């Protein structure tokens, strides 16, 4: 299995105007305890340039990947351009995952699993 290729494929599935969590991506990749590895993949370009890393936030909805972007507020700007509102909290910028979170389905997970098998990853 090539975990980073799976991360890239799953991240490209996050709909515009939605945010997903590192843990959600890890789960959909078949490695539910690998949220930090998802962060590593996105932060170090291992998921490719076309993976929309700005759509991925931590489990609380906090925009925690700012260091991986050219400017500290670029992730927030990109999300807001798609209609995902970020609100300032003591912990940092936060998106409302109940409103703007990607609600993937079992069908999504099964389709992704089929893609992994097809691509032998």
d(C-alpha 76, C-alpha 109), whole Å? 27
Torsions phi, psi for 3 (to 5 deg)? -55, -40
Could you tell me the two tokens for 102? 């990607």
Q: At 19, is the secondary structure helix, strand, or coil?
A: strand
Domains in the chain: ranges and CATH:
3-101+109-118 (1.10.10.10)
pLDDT tens digits for 51-96? 999 999 999 999 987 777 888 899 999 999 999 999 999 999 999 9
Residue 89 burial (CB count, 10 A): 11
Can you give the three-state secondary structure of 61-105, one letter per residue? CECCCHHHCCCCCHHHHHHHHCCCCEEEECCEEEECHHHHECCCC
Q: What is the pTM of this model?
A: 0.94
Mean pLDDT score across all residues of the chain: 95
* Continuous segment of H or E residues that includes residue 15: none
């Amino acid at each position: 299995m090539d975990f980073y290729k799976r991360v890239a494929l799953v991240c490209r599935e996050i709909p515009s105007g939605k945010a997903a969590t590192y843990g959600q991506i890890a789960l959909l990749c078949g490695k539910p305890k690998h949220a930090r590895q998802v962060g590593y993949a996105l932060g170090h370009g291992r998921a490719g340039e076309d993976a929309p890393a700005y759509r991925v936030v931590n489990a609380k909805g906090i925009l925690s990947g700012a260091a991986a972007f050219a400017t500290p507020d670029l992730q927030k700007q990109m999300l807001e351009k798609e209609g995902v509102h970020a609100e300032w909290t003591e912990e940092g910028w936060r998106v409302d995952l109940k409103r703007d979170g990607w609600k993937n389905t079992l069908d999504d997970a099964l389709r992704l699993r089929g893609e992994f098998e097809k691509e032998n990853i």
